Structure 1
Amino acid sequence: MTETTESPEPEDTPAEAAEAQPERPADQSADGSAAGSAARSAVMLLGSGELSRELAWAFQRLGREVIAVDRYANAPAHGVADRSAVVKMNDAEALTAIIDRADPLYVVAESGGIAVDALIAAAERGLEVFPSPRSVRMTQDREGLRRLAADELGLPTAPFWFAGSVEELTAVAEHAGFPLVVKPVAGMRGEGQSVLLRLEDVEPAWQRAIAAGRTPQNRVLAETVVEVDYEITLLTVRTTGPTGPALHFCEPIGHREGDGDVLEAWQPQQMTPAALDVAKSIAARIVNALGGRGVFGVELLVRGDEVYFSDVRTRPQDTGLVTLRSQRLSEFELHARAILGMHVDTIMISPGAAEVTYAGADSVPTEIAPGNVTAALADALAVAESDVRLFNRPDESDPRRRLGLALATAPDVVTARDRVRRVTGVLRKLW
């Protein structure tokens, strides 16, 4: 059954701090009693984009009913969920009403811009909320997250500053020098981001950053460009069992942005033993500080044996899509298992690579003839050990519309990356 709730946008988004939930084994309510009955065992996904669709399947394969919620109708996960609902995700009152009526056992935040107050209310009445309301608040706020990492945890980061006006950003640029990366304090990966090369770039970068996202903002993060050898995502799985919290690390995933419309990722990224140890230590400290269960994508910058913290995502992400073929359990299966309190493993079964192709900012979806799709797929899948995903449903949960995903495995990463580029080259004929 589909439920639709319309409500006006709130003037202000919730900004109250929330403590992490007490950790307890899965399928146990706040008072310690069993809560895994058929009547109350559903998983509610707050966010129903392309990645949520994969996560919905992962939960369903583990016997859970899935309720997919988003701010617009016919979202990708709505097509596979057992139930769906449409609600303004940053309207705490409306979102709370949806959660109360559905009464799920688990509430899983899979999108940015969710009203944290609604998550706090759900946690207070005994629902399992992942990530914790505090984690959602922190990851919606780059300023709070960066201060947690650098000031409270002492993690190494690139030099950074925050600015609340064009004048403040100009002063930062004059002090820090160039190049300088400017990002909104809230927003999706890459959204509203600019690289400043001279003072004339400051005002356009400011306007670009504050206009990003769906929530008005008037602060930006500026950071020095650190010379690095490569960037990685270290997928870290946090579980909680009878003996307490435990962490599991996937093999590091290297990634790079292509020509503006392609994200390339590969696994494993070769690292020195010293750098890998530091990366795991940084990931463990930030993930344990955030708490909860599930997959955390810790973004790190690496230069030799030096590792710098950059960001963290508290849910599956695009760089982790390579795990659909490289690991025994994908990032979605790991996320679902960890949330449900089940056994996980991070075994990599083959080196692999992935490329996500995105539409341009001004592009308009076009209808592709079935015959052209069939011919392109036939050529793409003729590449050894390849696989393809085409995204043909509207996904308004991400500012960059995904067109397709190319995947490939091989005996080594170099060959896997070569294969996946060939697959992407064929798929480009469709766009």
Structure 2
Amino acid sequence: MTALPPGSTIGILGGGQLGRMLAVAAAQLGYRCHIYAPEQDSVAAEVAAKFTCAPWHDQDALIEFSRDCAVITYEFENVPVAPLARLPQAMLAPGTRALEVAQDRVREKRFIEEVGGRPAPYLPVDHDSELAGAIARVGAPGILKTRRDGYDGKGQWSIKQDHEAQGIRIPQSGCVYEERVRFECEFSVVLVRGRGGEIRFWDSTRNTHEDGILAHTELPAPAIVGSQVEEARALAGKVASALGYVGVLTLEFFATANGPVFNEMAPRVHNSGHWTIEGAVTSQFENHIRAICGLPLGSTERMAERVVMDNLIGEVALDLVGHLSDDRAHVHLYGKSEARAGRKMGHITRVG
């Protein structure tokens, strides 16, 4: 692919904060962005040149949107795949195969096993009658997760004893039951893959979650992460190559006594990579734009020995004066109109 010239329009499927930060990065390189999202209240649209508000399955609207774009990417992994079949597939970066894998947790785990990775022991659960047997075979404690549409701890049930499964109703789309992993810490591998197949990795952060939501990332990560990151990177590179991936891809892992255990993948820019805006030579957002536009990738080198990022969740984000009283804080607010419990409203990064 010839590099897209400045002034070209990048289409972004999804209107949330990741789309917002992608649009800002694109504007810095001279590109225009066109947001497509079903919700009128789009924080990405606020910083983009154009906005189409239409349902995902509105084929006419999607096709008209695509005619305005030189390349199309997405900011979250739950964009329905079927409507995208009508679009020119060469325009999509990454392609739809990454979406198909990431949207089904069982399919995702099987794919990881096929390329040599190791998820936690698991079994699919498609009916209420199968749950007790899955718990008996996999063991308890464990976690029951919906196969589709789960994120930030949603669609999950912690099961400490087998009797706690009584009364749980399996949704029509099915679930997966997996063993609760004993781990020392969680970490992620964030990479970018260019159109020519070049792969670059950012340093892996230690990730801390609260109520299923990422709350804190920090560098340097503990020594156990350093001892396991090469194996995790090797798997992430295989995943990216097998998918023919273009752009930023994230794999999350548990660091255990027996090596890295795969948790889940996100075919997009990722919350645990927000630190790269100030903390790396090239941010995940800029490198995603570079990759999908056929530009040379930027350096992923860390800018300081220590970097920490904290998510601003709920009403705590509204205290802008308080956050800025720390003169080393880089504050990012996403422009969301309503602060509520469990909602990511922004983040703060501190470098050095």
Normalising by structure 1, we get a TM-score of 0.74
| SS of 1:67 mapped into structure 2 | strand
Q: Which 5+ residue runs of structure 2 have no aligned equivalent? A: none
Q: How far apart in 2 are the matches of 1:155 and 1:384?
A: 43
Asked whether 1:165 is paired with 2:117, we answer: no
User: Which amino acid is 2:52 matched to?
Assistant: A
Asked whether 1:407 is paired with 2:349, we answer: yes
Contact 2:77 2:266 in 1 (8 A): no
Asked whether 1:140 is paired with 2:93, we answer: no
Per the alignment, residue 253 of structure 1 pairs with 205
Q: How far apart in 1 are the matches of 2:160 and 2:262?
A: 23
Q: How far apart in 1 are the matches of 2:152 and 2:332?
A: 21
User: Which amino acid is 1:278 matched to?
Assistant: E
How far does residue 95 in structure 1 lie from its aligned partner after superposition?
4.9
Q: Which 5+ residue runs of structure 1 have no aligned equivalent? A: 1-24, 28-34, 211-216, 360-364, 411-431
How far does residue 300 in structure 1 lie from its aligned partner after superposition?
1.1
Identify if the C-alpha distance between structure 1 residues 65 and 112 changes in structure 2 by more than 3 Å, giving closer, same or farther.
Answer: same
How far does residue 203 in structure 1 lie from its aligned partner after superposition?
4.5
Contact 2:192 2:291 in 1 (8 A): yes
Q: Deviations over 1:369-407 (max 9, x none)?
A: xxxx6xx433322325212223442599xx952233222
- The Cα RMSD (Å) is 2.6
Q: How far apart in 1 are the matches of 2:240 and 2:17?
A: 25
Asked whether 1:57 is paired with 2:10, we answer: no
Contact 1:234 1:249 in 2 (8 A): yes
Per the alignment, residue 264 of structure 2 pairs with 311
Identity of aligned residues (%): 21
How far does residue 221 in structure 1 lie from its aligned partner after superposition?
1.2
Contact 1:44 1:69 in 2 (8 A): yes
Q: Deviations over 1:215-260 (max 9, x none)?
A: xx4311111112111111110111123xxx1111110011011366
Contact 2:269 2:284 in 1 (8 A): yes
Identify if the C-alpha distance between structure 1 residues 180 and 304 changes in structure 2 by more than 3 Å, giving closer, same or farther.
Answer: closer
Identify if the C-alpha distance between structure 1 residues 264 and 46 changes in structure 2 by more than 3 Å, giving closer, same or farther.
Answer: same
How far does residue 308 in structure 1 lie from its aligned partner after superposition?
1.4
Per the alignment, residue 107 of structure 1 pairs with 72
User: Which amino acid is 2:245 matched to?
Assistant: G
| SS of 2:274 mapped into structure 1 | helix
Q: How far apart in 1 are the matches of 2:80 and 2:68?
A: 18
Asked whether 1:178 is paired with 2:140, we answer: yes
Contact 1:275 1:304 in 2 (8 A): no
Q: How far apart in 1 are the matches of 2:249 and 2:169?
A: 29
Per the alignment, residue 94 of structure 2 pairs with 131
Contact 1:316 1:332 in 2 (8 A): yes
User: Which amino acid is 1:162 matched to?
Assistant: P
Q: Deviations over 1:3-32 (max 9, x none)?
A: xxxxxxxxxxxxxxxxxxxxxx354xxxxx
| SS of 1:346 mapped into structure 2 | coil
After superposing on structure 2, the runs of 4+ consecutive aligned residues of structure 1 that deviate more than 6 Å are: none
Contact 2:36 2:65 in 1 (8 A): no
Q: How far apart in 2 are the matches of 1:233 and 1:204?
A: 34
How far does residue 346 in structure 1 lie from its aligned partner after superposition?
0.4
The number of residues matched between the two structures is: 347
Q: How far apart in 2 are the matches of 1:199 and 1:74?
A: 42
Q: How far apart in 2 are the matches of 1:37 and 1:388?
A: 28
Per the alignment, residue 237 of structure 1 pairs with 192
Asked whether 1:93 is paired with 2:59, we answer: yes
| SS of 1:389 mapped into structure 2 | strand
Q: How far apart in 2 are the matches of 1:328 and 1:204?
A: 51
Highest CA radius of gyration, 1 or 2?
A: 1
| SS of 1:227 mapped into structure 2 | coil
Q: How far apart in 2 are the matches of 1:140 and 1:205?
A: 22
Asked whether 1:330 is paired with 2:283, we answer: yes
